[in-house]
Structure 1
């Protein structure tokens, strides 16, 4: 089926290591847009650090942020929001702190790096993440969190764990976007590099793993493109869309 929507992870995928978009990839995105193909950023980032890229690329469709925790239009109209219980966030933050992990928490209006609010219940929470180069620590917190059936566990790097509400993923958000547009997941090409991309890559008509992707992503993808520093996204768009 024809590709009518391109879903792009950002870090490690659309963005080079210096967090810029290459001119080659910009050109291919512009050509796809000119053919009325939707280009959707599908990222673990929150809206504040995602939106400037959408503006610079002249995107006209939707934005999937916080691993599917929110779906926005490019006009900043909120279409979906999925929240974690504040008490659950507090529990996870406490576990991570006790294990000596670096943490970040994403509320609807702020990102908290290695800090906590005075009152967790005063905020609406989208996501929490923790990081360590000690795999044993990551394994330990995954084991602890696996006892809670209201959580969705994933990662955006091999050195971290990210937590969303159960059932929330980039894939579930993409399904909502497809329904709104009037297409199916068969009309989607999705590209990514980490576990938070795996479901959208599996469920899309064409799933693309970056050359720098985690091995699990490469195993389920339909195609492996070049790395994020070698125009991998632009080359995939050229191959499957243009």
Structure 2
């Protein structure tokens, strides 16, 4: 019997236009009405995750930044795990050497040197999944974050790192040059204490090794007296693997890479076809 459902956002619960469908919303509400805990587990910052969830009228706890931050359904911070400050310069030096653009995640704000970088990352994710990305809708979503101040463009990261280097949750690197990205990944993997994952072929998600979705989901389940055997994890990419491997019931989206599908107990339809809603409905039936 499923007691907790952990759901990824991009490529999973979010449609290509970054909204939550009515079917996905209703499935979550139905699960909650049966006493099942539903948590969003995303690589996004809390401020990025909150917008589509709030617009859908849902109230859930959040595992953000791949597990670097956990918040309750009211947005109150429960736990925070930052990258060790002494590792920041090592990371940025590797990314700079390979000309990989990156973003810094501090508190609820994402800092970028190029406002087009997050847009290109989302477009790349959609195309990788074989979808035609609604560019203008994604751009509107990004500009909404800019207006709210949760996405900020700055000329240089130097002062920010000097002043707040101990507050960085995640560094997100993107590149269309796969050999350079692979070279950077291999170099980063040599730094002890880091978790290197990705939410798509064209990016790197860098966090503290203790900041992973699977670790955060397991801690959340334990705090509620739940076994991981009774947890369902739904996702579409490599940064979801840590929770898929720990959960008793794992579901890959239809748009997930074959390696992710092979690691899961079930495969649902794509994020453009209400895959999350269908997966949840399937486990609710026996519990009615």
TM-score normalised by length of structure 2:
0.80
Residue number in structure 1 paired with 2:266 = 223
Is the CA contact 2:7–2:235 (under 8 Å) kept in the aligned structure 1? yes
SS in 1 for 2:207: strand
CA-atom RMSD, angstroms?
Answer: 1.5
Distance in 1 separating the partners of 2:158 and 2:46: 20
Residue number in structure 2 paired with 1:182 = 225
Is the CA contact 2:7–2:13 (under 8 Å) kept in the aligned structure 1? yes
**Residue 160 of structure 1, CA deviation:** 0.7
Deviates more, 1:57-66 or 1:214-223: 57-66
SS in 2 for 1:83: coil
**Residue 168 of structure 1, CA deviation:** 2.1
Could you tell me which of 90, 111, 116 is aligned with 2:157? 116
Q: Which whole-Å deviations, capped at 9, do the CAs of 1:116-163 have from their partners, x for residues lacking one?
A: 141414220101011112210111101211211111110011111111
Residue number in structure 1 paired with 2:69 = 70
Distance in 2 separating the partners of 1:109 and 1:25: 26
Residue number in structure 1 paired with 2:84 = 85
Higher helix content, 1 or 2: 2
Residue-pair matches, total: 241
SS in 2 for 1:118: helix
Deviates more, 1:223-232 or 1:102-111: 102-111
**Residue 184 of structure 1, CA deviation:** 1.3
Matches within 5 A, 1:98-137: 98-114=97-113, 115-123=156-164, 124-137=167-180
TM-score normalised by length of structure 1:
0.94
Distance in 2 separating the partners of 1:48 and 1:117: 24
- Give 5+ residue unaligned stretches, structure 2: 114-155
Could you tell me which of 209, 218, 234 is aligned with 1:166? 209
Is the CA contact 1:86–1:121 (under 8 Å) kept in the aligned structure 2? no
**Residue 215 of structure 1, CA deviation:** 2.0
Q: Given the superposition, is the C-alpha separation of residues 197 and 162 from structure 1 closer, same or farther in structure 2, using an over 3 Å criterion?
A: same
Distance in 1 separating the partners of 2:56 and 2:248: 24
SS in 1 for 2:43: coil
Residue number in structure 1 paired with 2:246 = 203
